[in-house]
Amino acid sequence: MDPVLGIDLGTTNSVAAIVQDGEPIVLRDDRGESILPSVVGLDQNGALLVGEAARNQALVAPERTVRSVKRKMGEDAKVVMGDQEYSPQEVSAMILRTLADRAEQALGRRLTQAVITVPAFFNENQRQATREAGSLAGLEVLRVINEPTAASLVYEPKSALNEKLLVYDLGGGTFDVSIVQVEAGVIEVLSSHGDTHLGGDDFDELLLNHVAAAFLEEHGIDLRTLPTAQSRLLHAVEEAKKRLSVEAVVTLAEEFIAEKDGRPLNLNLTLDRPQYENLITPLLQKTIDCVNDALSDAKLPASQIDRVVLVGGSTRTPLVHQMLHDQLHQELHHEIDPDLCVALGAAVQGALLAGIDVGPVLVDITPHTLGIRCVGEVNGMETDQCFSPIITRNSSLPAKRSDIYYTEYAGQSAVEIEVLQGEHDISSLNEWIGSFRLEELDPDAPALSEILVRFDLNLDGMLKVTAQERASGLSKEVVIDSKITRFRARDRGEAVERLSSLFGEEASAAALTGAVAAEDSGLEPARQTLASAQRLLPTAPAEDADEIRELMEKLEQSLQAADVAASLAAADELDDVLFYLQDR
């Protein structure tokens, strides 16, 4: 029996998944991309563009491109692309058809049945419009299910426990929160609240207005009145928003975005996370109000919620985590990629409808919070034993996060970066895992000068910590291996010989070879990074391609020399570039 497509038809992005060999998996295109931007357009010759190609065209031809059509589903409206008009269902059908084509390419056969997800707060008109879009795409829509139901399925496909989940779903264009009861495989939505016009798109608009106002004040030109400039700016702030989920500071740089008196004008603006959070706090407070209303309707206190599940790409925003934790006093679950879990859950629903047994989704997470010691308040008292989390427990791997800290006094010459893991607010109660000093700071720097600290944690548990004095650019980094990986090849060889001696045997060639193999395995992450670079290089913008080639050459030389330390260092440099490239 052919699998049933599970489709998350999103405002900003869409995803398709199936259950294969009992495991839900996301379907990828021929470039390895799992996410399809929900953007549709017509090129200058009238040919259809869907996904990344349409998104790129929006920068230069916004009049031939449609974004966020999900917000118009269920309305008696038309959207314009070039000189053509389409219903929202037709545009959505183009996205669904593209996802079905992706499935056919991946599997070698056409899938005709689908389960499609919608926000729990969608009304019947919006749900019917979704069914019509599926039919127009040539799909038999077996069921339209709520996104929180799908998320619950992917976390607990066959739970026998009586559990109550709070599913907080903040996507690109919609928000809803649902209280869900799961018992013996039956999922019941007890209450829902939300806003079908609140999401990441609104965050983008706030950022765009903030940047446009700054540009207007500096140059006297409003970029919002220039369609191409506005489209470029929207793309830039969207990328900045994503980066601010993991970076404390970002720079927006767009060359020749406008002109004045025949002179080209460039955009160059630095944004930090607190600025962004101040902009979006009122919108996020609306979501917290919805959380309280949903709990009230379900007649449940927060203490009776067994699990809080985060869904939707916008939940990566650190302020979302902070506000939810402050309100609910519960651990937040986001182990399964919030961009993918709804599609995976829809695939699970499709498999269950087809009578297929489904296992859990397997994810790699960090079991402990990682952070640094700093001066701060603990229980209302200032102390130099404050633990500041950077990567929180249960974050999916690999994970990258950064935050800004400050010097204590003017002319401070050095800072000590003490890295710890644990869940206590007091650093001395957590486990010390490493430290280093950033020295020779600017002697003329005032008190409260900014120090940027970044953590990069890979799948093998290897943590790279970077500290940078922002004003001068002075930086230093160290790599801290996980305790499991600290058993080096030399130690392994010595251990083999000691054990063989104790048992009155000669060390076997196989065991000693294992020591060499262990050393060689240390190069594997670097080889994987090189392979990723080779795959992404053809799609890299010109400004990135030259840097990637140089770093690839440096990495290849280190690999040929079998120099583990140099290879991992070169791979880290290359990975930093690839990280932002993969998010484009």
**Catalytic center residues:** 8, 70, 147, 169
Number of H helices, E strands in the chain: 14, 26
Long-range contact set of residues 527-534: C-beta below 8 Å, sequence gap at least 24:
527/559, 529/555, 529/571, 529/574, 529/575, 529/578, 530/555, 530/556, 530/559, 530/571, 530/574, 532/578, 533/574, 533/578
Cα separations (Å) of 441 from 108, 112, 405, 410, 476?
59, 63, 14, 11, 11
SS3 sequence of 222-272: CHHHCHHHHHHHHHHHHHHHHHCCCCCEEEEEEEEEEEECCEEEEEEEEEE
Neighbours of 403 (CB within 10 A): 20
Cα–Cα nearest to 68, from 4, 134, 14, 141: 14
Q: Are strands 307-311 and 163-170 parallel, antiparallel or unpaired?
A: parallel
Q: Report the distance separating Cα 480 and Cα 240, nearest Å.
A: 29
The answer to whether 432 and 424 have CB atoms below 8 angstroms apart is no
- Give 37-70 as a DSSP string: ESEEEE-TTS-EEETHHHHHHTTT-GGGEEE-GG
